[in-house]
Each structure stands twice: as structure tokens, then as C-alpha cells.
Amino acid sequence: MGRTDRHSWTEVRERIRARILDGTYHAGQKLPRDEDLAAELGCARSTVQRAMRDLADAGMIERRRKGGSRVRLDPVTRATFEIPVIRQEVEQAGKKYDYRLIDRALAIPPAGDLAKFELPRPREMLRIRALHLADGKPHVFEDRWVCPETVPEILTLDLARENANEWLVRNKPYSRCDLRFLAIGAGAREAEILACPPGAALFVIERTTWIGPDPITSVRAVAAPGYQLTTRA
């Protein structure tokens, strides 16, 4: 058996996938040529090509004839759930997107939020509360915690100009995502922020992501009445 036969295409796929998830290959970056990866990883070029096709099918990279391979700007783990970029949702519906930062602060999350991260001890995190708008009307209210130890860049990001939802999707691909969908009646706070009557039925997504064992973010996204979620599996 020659040197180029040592790795299966699935092993090569997982090595490239790990580099995308840990940021070695960042969103939008052009990947090395197939032949260069084959030489580096000690496998046949056809093995790399098979691995790349699978990564493209999974939505993590784009393959173009004579254009090589590139990490998607919105890398996803489609086997479970594609995290929506709210701005894109609004614009695809033909509406004008806007965003408003309500507040941001470093604090230790309450016990219920810490439990979502499965952490053994309390840890200071950045809380971000923000409102996404469609045609000037409230669309989604986000109450989010981000772990600065995993995402140190979040502390210097201008969150009044750039929303955490889109930035995290583009810059912090996850290896694990826990999801919870529920409906609630609007309380006084939700009714005020989302400009809806108290008690109105609201759709809620609670989502926590990790990279390996390290927590990235946990968000509670409360959508205004009439919101529709679409995704691809």
C-alpha cells in the first residue's frame, strides 16, 4: 500500500471540517488546491475530491469548476439545523432590515442560563439584548449570552453597528447545537418591545452552540406575531 492510500475520504473530510470549525479556514477563505491537500495529508487527490464533495453537500464549502473550493460565508451544519441570519430573512421577504442594540453588559448569567451551557462553575459572559426590525416594525427580539473565553472578539465588536446573530454565524461555526422551540404569551416586556398586545402568541427559539467542549453562545429569540421560520435539512 503506497503513501497516498493511508487515509479514507471520511478521515480527510473530518480533518478539513475540523479546520473550518476551529477557524483555521475561516468563512469566505479559499482552500488549498486538492493536489496540495493530498500531498499534505498523504492521500490520493481523488480522496480529497470525494471529501470536498461531501463537505459541499453538507453546506460547509462551495466548489467551483476551475475556481477551487472556498469556505461558505455562512457555514452550516445542515444535518441538524441551519441557523437563520435574520437580516437575510427580512430582505428575502422583500422588506427593509434594521437593527437596534438595546444594551450590552458583562455579568454572570442566572442559574438557568448557565445550565444551558453545561458549565461546572459560574463564568462571566457578555449579555447582548437587541431588536431586529422589518420595514421599521419589530421582528425578532434577542436576549443573548456570549462566552468571551471562546469568542474574545465579541468584547471589541461594535454591536451598535454589527449584530451578533450575523457575526457569529459568519465567524464562529459550531460543532454542536441544542435547540428548543416553544410558544409563549407576551408578557409586559415582550409586548412593549415587540409592539404587540399583552398575551399575544409569540414564537420562541432557544439555541445554545459549542465548538467542541467550549460554549459559544446561548440566545433566546422571541419573534413578533406572524413570524415564520424556514430552514433546510
What is the SS3 string spanning the chain?
CCCCECCCHHHHHHHHHHHHHCCCCCCCCECCCHHHHHHHHCECHHHHHHHHHHHHHCCCEEEECCCEEEECCCCCECCCECCCCHHHHHHHCCCCEEEEEEEEEEECCCHHHHHHHCCCCCCCEEEEEEEEEECCEEEEEEEEEECCCCCHHHHCCCCCCCCHHHHHHHHCCCCEEEEEEEEEECCHHHHHHHCCCCCCEEEEEEEEEEECCEEEEEEEEEECCCCCCCCCC
Q: For domain 86-223, which CATH number applies: 3.40.640.10, 3.40.50.620, 3.50.50.60, 3.40.1410.10?
A: 3.40.1410.10
pLDDT at 184: 96
Domains of the chain by residue range: 9-71, 86-223
pLDDT at 232: 52
Q: For domain 9-71, which CATH number applies: 3.40.50.2000, 3.40.250.10, 1.10.10.10, 2.60.40.1190?
A: 1.10.10.10
pLDDT at 90: 93
pLDDT at 6: 62
Does the pTM exceed 0.85? no
**Low-confidence stretches of the chain (pLDDT beneath 50):** 1-4, 77-80, 233
pLDDT tens per residue across span 29-57: 999 999 999 999 999 999 999 999 888 88
